[in-house]
Chains A and B, each alone.
Chain A
Amino acid sequence: MDTTSTAAGAPRGRRAHLPRLTRQAPTGPGAVRPDGLRRAPADHWPKYLAISPFYLLFLAFGLIPVVFSLYLAFHRWDGIGGMEYAGLSQFRYLLTDSQFWNSISVTVQIWAMATVPTLFLAMVTAVLMNSAVRFKGFYRVAYFVPSVTSIVAIAIVFGSIFSTEFGLTNAALRAVGLDTVPWLNSPWGIKTAIAALMTWQWVGYNAIIYLAGLQTIPSELYEAARVDGAGPVQSFFRITVPMMRPVILFTLVVSTVTGLQSFSESQVLLASTSNTSNAGGPDNAGQTMVLYFYQQTFDNNDFGYGAAMAWGIFLVVALFAIINWRLVQRRER
């Protein structure tokens, strides 16, 4: 958020100063335009210097690896020896790799199972927090804590909660007389456990964003609605939800981006003690795209294929990003 807003603000600021600057006669070698409206980048070096740390870091840890991964995707490489040009064969294999397609479907399923309850519960929580009279600050902190907790620690705790014999979930099921579920030994159990973990982790974060949105809705609207005879349910659906639509879309976009990249959840929750690689449990039910990518790259040392798959994942995420973008664009018109 910060970086995008400064990037958007910079040109506007510069244009505002230009008229004053043009009054001085441009004499330096950078002054090329006779109308003086634009100066060579060299004259702006202090500003470029000021923003350079981000770009240098991005170059080293963002752009170069991205470009290299594209190069790598056209090769076979075991991580140590020489690279061997492989043409499009990695991509061809990717398209026909049923396990990759399975991992896309697993990821989307888990994402849907996590996002719907997350956003719903976040809205409920935000409305409750908004109307809370006491301990407001405490609630906000308490709900935010999960999203800054180490995912590894969370996954270990959830591993205990969902363990078959001595887990809390099954103890609760037993207490109300229901059959227990072998959570982490069954495909839907695994997906439910991962989705529950993600929900728990992200409800608070989204609730804080919703809360901020709720507080920008003028109270006059609610008062007017009350005067017109609207009940709380009606004003929630007729005022709160429409006013909050942009915020809801924002949280949806963020959840999509994080949800499609879920990895640590399955990696820790479904890890076993043996040194065999983590394939996401029975039926590869918890094998998300990134988990499968990790297995191919770092367990099988198939770096070329891993890079090709990373680009496959990129396309999937890009597709969802475009869908989101279109959704938001339509609303803004």
Chain B
Amino acid sequence: MRRVVGAVPLSRRGLLRAGGLGAAAAALAGTPACSVPTGSTGRQMTLWYWTSGLSDKVVGEARRKFTAVDLRPVQIGGYFRSKLLTNMAGRAYVPDITGLKGEDMASYHANADQFMDLRALGADALADRYLPWKWRECITSQGRMIGFPIDVGPTAHYYRPDVFERAGLPTEPDDVAAQMSSWDTYFAAGRRLRKKVPGASMILGMTDVFQYAIGQSTERFVDKDKHFIGDGEHVRHAWDLAVRAKRMGITSHLRPGSPDQTAALAKGRLPSQLNPSWWSADLKLSAPGSKGKWRVARMPGGPANYGGSFLAITKYCRKPEQAFEIITWLLDADNQTRGFTDAGLFPSTPASYTHKAMRAPDPFFGGQVTVDVFGPAAEKIPVAYNSPYDVAVSQPIRDEIVNINDLGKDPDDAWRDAMSKVRRIADHLGVS
């Protein structure tokens, strides 16, 4: 008995396991995966993307079309970014072409030397075919173009006319947009909804309001010169809006992404949701029974962008001209239209918005042509500088928004707590 319980080997094992934790951080620089050989023969060209990151059909066609190289598309599962970083840090088996997610773009900007400058390959000639703000997100402050636009995530107001009608609110998309053009009028409609339809909430939670109000502004949390601007007017405004929504009692108590939210969407207890274009796929999956009951209207307070991604050519690519030819073909207007029909990727090419395939009435939205809402929204996204430090620095602010929303914390205390935490983090990161 005693030998089994021998403490020393056990705690040693515990120590080793704990060491494994330390290893997790370092694992990024560890040995690379060896399933994706690249560049060794000179003909192979690997393309990394994630599930539904590109239209599989278009990628398959590219394989057949570009025979000068042996295009090897690989769908990377799991946490895409950490796998890409692992191989970049190991300088081995780095893909020639890779997808980059929009939310990670700022951190890639800081390491622009890892990617080919697409302007040097002639990208400028194609600029006018893409959304200008999206194009600008590809270009670093030094003028290097490190990515090429895949899709965008323009936001809109998803709503249910059947519930709006019971609340005495407008039901047609244009009327809804006209009556709820600003946050103020949207909140007022929310109060009416709460009064007329008991149990229904206009807004899921404060986080939605805060996040989109920030997205509608032209500033984030850290500026180009690494100065902290998260205490600025734009953040204060978004914060106050979120607090007001809570105080007016028009937010729900449901957790984002919970089964409760799904049920509420299906039952009409969340008849209004502010979300990006790609959310329609989620909605169709999670509330299939509500088919035909939804519409989309223009977003209160103007459009914002949420999500979207890029294709980049890494510096390890041996045939950048070939790679450039491939990505520009993959992402031309026609193929982006197919990306929309095959994978729900909203095109960054305005020419696609008038394409027949995108103008097909959507039965889930009662036969509405949703591109009429998302298309103009995509063209009016405000341009903002995204800093690689935004996520870290804004975390306490977003945490405190949750504390007000869920725990009813006093907003002034919450703001003070957020700011004192932010200051420490900013110091630590060298943000002044």
Contact = CB atoms under 8 A, between A and B. Distances in A.
Interface in B256-287: 256-260, 263-264, 282
A231 interface: no
B356 interface: no
- Interface SS of chain A: helix
A65 B402 contact: no
Given A276-B398, A306-B25, A78 B111 contact: yes
Nearest to B282: A273
Contacts of B19: 62, 66, 314
A132 B361 CA distance: 64
A325 B398 contact: no
Interface string B90-108: 0000000000000100011
Interface residues of A, number: 86
Contacts of B255: 163-164, 184-185, 272
A186 B110 contact: no
Contacts of B12: 4
B11 A250 contact: no
Contacts of B85: 79-80
Nearest to A71: B26
Interface stretch (B174-182, B344-352, B387-395): B387-395
A64 interface: yes
Given A70-B22, A284-B399, A277 B11 contact: no
Interface in B1-38: 1-2, 4-31
Given A69-B26, A321-B15, A302 B429 contact: yes
Contacts of A246: 1-2, 4-5
Contacts of B20: 62, 66
Interface string A267-298: 00001111111010111100000100101111
A182 B17 CA distance: 35
A68 B254 contact: no
Interface of B: 1-2, 4-31, 79, 81-82, 85, 88-89, 103, 107-108, 110-111, 114, 207, 211, 253-260, 263-264, 282, 307, 388, 391-392, 395, 398-399, 402-403, 405-407, 421, 424, 428-429
Given A72-B29, A80-B89, A163-B258, 19 more contacts: A64-B26, A78-B111, A79-B89, A80-B114, A160-B259, A164-B260, A182-B253, A253-B7, A257-B18, A271-B257, A272-B256, A275-B103, A282-B406, A293-B25, A301-B107, A307-B26, A314-B18, A321-B15, A327-B7
